[in-house]
Homo-oligomer: A and B are copies of this chain.
Amino acid sequence: MACSRNDPRIDYHMDENTRMSDKSGTTANTVWHAHKICRHHREFLNGQRACLLWFTGLSGSGKSTIAGLVEERLHEQRKLTYLLDGDNVRKGMNGDLGFTDADRIENIRRIGEMSKLFVDAGVITLSAFISPFRSERAAVRDLMREGDFIEVFVDAPLDTCEGRDPKGLYQRARSGEIKNFTGIDSPYERPDAPEIHVVNDGSLSPREVADQVVGYLRQRQFI
């Protein structure tokens, strides 16, 4: 997004020393200058490059946990982050949406649009949603500016995820109480070429896995 004083989003400009003495606001004496604060100013202030870390994976793969640990590590380094997940999105912004195909698409669209604003705010934005379909992940990627979307595939075998089952959802899916549950009776489409692929099958601690994500950000100079 442009940020100079020529930013087309600025309707009028206002000079520091100019009073709006003329009602019309259109004479040469009342040209306005607002030095609009933009993404680049905020990134400079925060000492980071903003991006969207899009965590995808099965329920129980550890998306939220790893994302939370990445936030913690980044916070230690005085980086500003924000995590969008089912807790703060489904209960608020997307509380009006159900689980039909149309609602799923709208759910992801709104999360994408919100993420875009957070990235514009200069924030390293994390999201943790199963997002099982390539098409929905591609839709968010397409919304974002080139290089802003970082797909993080949290890869764990189904039986590991089912064994963890922190919310008891697999059990309910196996019993037929929940329909269309990803991994059971609805597919999870593995990312073809995620920017980051971490394996969270228990061979590394979640913190070690999170450090792989942080390492990527450091290597690519986001932080």
A binding-site residues for B, Cβ under 8 Å: 9-12, 14, 16-26, 32, 34-37, 41-42, 45-46, 60, 62, 64-65, 68-69, 71-72, 75, 78, 80-84, 87-88, 92-93, 110, 113-114, 116-118, 120-123, 159-160, 163-167, 200, 202, 204-207
Contact call A20/B88, Cβ cutoff below 8 A: no
- Chain B, Cβ-Cβ closest to A64: B11
Q: Which 9 A-B pairs have the closest CB atoms?
A: A23-B163, A25-B164, A93-B113, A34-B68, A82-B121, A20-B202, A37-B71, A9-B87, A92-B113
CB of B122 within 8 A of CB of A121, answer: no
How far, in whole Å, are A24 and B34 apart by their CA atoms in the complex? 57
- Taking a contact as CB atoms under 8 Å apart, the answer to whether B25 and A206 are in contact is no
**Shortest Cβ distance from residue A216 to the other chain B in the assembled complex, whole angstroms:** 19
Known: A19-B202, A82-B121, A206-B14. A72 touches B35 (CB 8 A): yes
Q: Are B122 and A80 in contact (CB under 8 A)?
A: yes
Contacts of A23 in B (CB 8 A): 159-160, 163-164, 202
Given known pairs A41-B75, A160-B23, A202-B19, the reply for A80 and B113 (CB within 8 Å) is no
Q: Which residues of B contact A206 (CB under 8 A)?
A: 14, 20, 32
